[in-house]
Amino acid sequence: MDDVIQVRDLVNRFGTQTVHEHLDLDVRRGEILGVVGGSGTGKSVLLRSIVGLRRPTSGQVHVFGQDLLSLPPEQRSRVERRFGVLFQNGALFSSLNIVENVAMPLIEHASLTRPEAQQLGGVKLALAGLPAGAETKYPSELSGGMVKRAALARALALDPEILFLDEPTAGLDPISAAAFDQLILTLRDALGLTVFLVTHDLDTLYTICDRVAVLSQKKVLVVGPLDEVAQYPDPWVQAYFHGPRGRAAEEAHEREHSPEVK
């Protein structure tokens, strides 16, 4: 399995505050990688550094084998079109209805006419699980779960190869969060996506992630399959995975995947 993202010796500083110091991370093609860590460990900063929304203080970010930080703007833009990003809270344009939100990147980057872009946008909305009739609604008229799905449809607009998700189930009720997790799993399998997932949701980690990376001490402390990471002898890792919520998520996962007793 080859690596589609390679982060080497990444440093991110904000004034005198160092968030990342010599951070290394690889993301494998076709996997769902969950990124976790305590508050202030720079999970979203890492995501933004990889997708090009923040220029790190130093280090290298290779995506599809290319050093994004050294590419000319036009070449870099071509690589970045192979990304889809779902931001926290959806980040939809409140003045546009849902299908217009999804159509915008198609008009800007795929040179489609507005009718063509909106027709394809409707397909993406259906792919993200939004019901018929939602296209003309505005973000303020949607539930939290529907906003997340609309934002996912926009992230899928340009048929990306890598999907970046920043806390996609935050604020959702357990049923909506579980449905969203299953949607991500289905899309990964159907479209061959690689998924970089920032989350604190233990149910998400147990349900859909192939590997988990823990950010701590300004670096990736440990990365690997969840059952291995959960055994790492670090106080935060132990408290996170073996506290009450961690135990509940693990037990729920085991119940779901254990053979039924006849």
Handedness of CA 250, 228, 18, 5 (dihedral sign): negative
* CATH code of 230's domain: 3.40.50.300
Cβ partners under 8 Å of residue 102, min gap 6: 121, 124, 125, 150, 153, 154, 157
Q: What is the pLDDT of residue 109?
A: 84
Give the pTM: 0.90
Whether 129 and 74 share a structural domain: no
182 in a structural domain:
no
Separate counts of helices (H) and strands (E) for the chain: 10, 10
Q: Each residue's pLDDT tens digit in the chain (262 positions)?
A: 589 999 999 999 999 999 999 999 999 999 999 999 998 899 999 999 999 889 999 999 999 999 888 889 888 888 888 999 998 777 888 898 999 999 998 888 888 889 899 999 999 999 888 888 888 999 999 888 889 899 999 999 999 999 999 999 988 888 989 999 999 999 999 999 999 999 989 999 999 999 999 999 999 999 999 999 999 999 999 999 987 666 666 666 666 666 654 4
**Separation of alpha carbons 56 and 199, rounded Å:** 22
Domain for residue 180, yes or no?
Answer: no
Q: Residue 261: what pLDDT? A: 43
Q: Is 111 found in the same domain as 63?
A: no
**Cβ neighbours of 178 (radius 10 Å):** 17
Task: Please indicate, yes or no, if residue 123 is contained in any of the structural domains.
Answer: yes
pLDDT at 226: 94
Structural domain harbouring 90: 83-159
Query: Which tokens belong to 254?
Result: 């085991």
Task: Spell out a b/e string for 3-18, using b for 16 or more CB atoms within 10 Å of the CB, else e.
Answer: bbbbbeebbbeeeeee
- Nearest alpha carbon to residue 203 among 165, 256, 140: 256
Q: Looking at the structure, do residues 35 and 72 belong to the same domain, yes or no?
A: yes
| 59 and 111 inside one domain | no
- 117 and 151 within one domain: yes
